[in-house]
Structure 1
Amino acid sequence: MIKVDCEYKIKEDIGFIIEAENINKSDLSEATKISRMTLDAIEKRGNTTDDVCEKLYSYIYKRNYRINSVKEELIKEKYGNVLFHGSKLGLSEITVSGSRNNCDFGNGFYLGETYNQALSFVCDYEKSSVYSFKYSLDNLKIARFECTLDWMLGICFFRGTLGEYSGNKMVRKVVEEIETADIVIAPIADNKMFYIMAQFTEGEINADVALHSLSASKLGFQYIFKTDKALSNIIPIEKYYLCQAERMDCRNALNNRSYEIDTKLKLAKREFKDGLYIEELLNERI
């Protein structure tokens, strides 16, 4: 178990916006409708309520300062190895057994390579936030996957859609590699992508169609820390507030991405008609 005690760096962010906009605290108070007394209290305590955060970070975002995304660039330049996690309700501690059993690769602590990846998974939740972490892969057993059949079979197994094929030797080999690893590094699969995978496991599309459609996602890679040994290699850095405007922009981007995946699926069905279906693939490798 790892304690997560990082919070919003609102005091520093107030200092940034005052300097960037060349204003003083009175000007900021008037622009954000946050009282001067509250701003002074934040300067002393370093924290405040969510409604005050919304006023401040909405103001920053609407002034076209993408402060969270820029912070991502800076901490990667500072620390090198940085990952991000989106939490629906916030984090106080993390464990390897805290995720749902039907996540992509079973239990573990899931992180993504970029801030926007993490944001995309929690932008619909009112109390959500994003966290950054330093990490190391030293002395860890790693299972790596690309956008391949093995990757797709592993996700379908842990999400419970392989049915009669779950005991197949090819599937069991993939599962064993995942279950004996300290960390799994693999392409991210969100629910839209899993819809395509489900069509493959149900025999509606062949493997070539599925994989070529999934390659349109461009969500990047996820890192799943599956053991306490792996978890000891991460250190929390910062918690990021997600204002309403930023959440909405993220939702709009996800909708556009959904259309792109649908289009590629339709085109892939025309282009890769001769690929093998799940029954043919797995029956050949019993």
Structure 2
Amino acid sequence: MNEFLLMQMVAAERLCVAHESKQVVLSELKNSLAGASGEQRTASLLKRELDLPGAIFLSDVHMPYKEGNAQIDLLLVHAAFICVLEVKNMIGEFYFDSVNFQFHRMIDGRREGMRNPEAQLHRAVKAASGFLGVPVHGVIVLASRSGKVVEAPKQYPVVSLDYLPFHLEQLAHGAKLFNVATITAKLQGLPVRNTNRHWLERQKITLDSLRLGVTCPTCRNCPLVWQERKWHCDGCEFTSRDAHEVTLQEYAVLFGNKLDTRVAYQLLGVKDKYVLYRLLEKSAPKSNVRGKRQIIENRDLLRAYFGRVYK
């Protein structure tokens, strides 16, 4: 789960039902989960079955391209070739119109126009080639066995996930063209792209639009109450001493690691300042600025929490 997917999960769970972007956020999250599942299956298969010693995989890479960025699902770097993988975890019959460069699929008798994977891949290949200064291959990967290509694209191959290892192995002809360490070092030096603020603004998400409080991990929509040095759920009798740490990470993934102490009272739903200070002592210690705290980043807490929710 990358940072953006975690942000979508937090927003989907915390947004008030009546919020104007609630359904849009849920729909986008559904698509992101499908995409992440396909990319995870692809990466797992390649690590297990690809016979290319020394190959390096990088996921969710954002390459500078013209005045913006191009997002790459998976990038394979090998001494003999570099390849961009555009992973699609979709079902239905797929039609690539190479004349007008449009794309649609047929599913349950319905025609659905969608973003053209070939155009997305072409943009990513151009970005990678331009940034690295070397030729780059591209392939569209069908991660679902329930997808079928009826009209194929002209510029790039489309391969099923099962066949992908063989396709990639055929791209390696033995000659070492690239220094893998140099290429990966350049890629890892790319700045982390922060899409949070833009996405939050587009969806009109602010702290006031969210359900605050420490969420019960069992009921999920029920706020916990701090009593006798524990968090208690009145609905299912769940108790915990550190459930607030997930809440702090949820805030941080949306709004950043800096936390105003006045906001912390609202966020955790406590009123006693001594209780608040004890809760924040380790997870969000005081910063050098009066009234400000710094949340210690620990996204694995969110991955564990949402891993149970979306398993």
The TM-score by the shorter chain falls in which range? under 0.3
TM-score, normalised relative to structure 1: 0.25
Higher relative contact order (CA 8 A, sep 6+): 1
From the two aligned structures, give the one with the greater strand fraction: 2
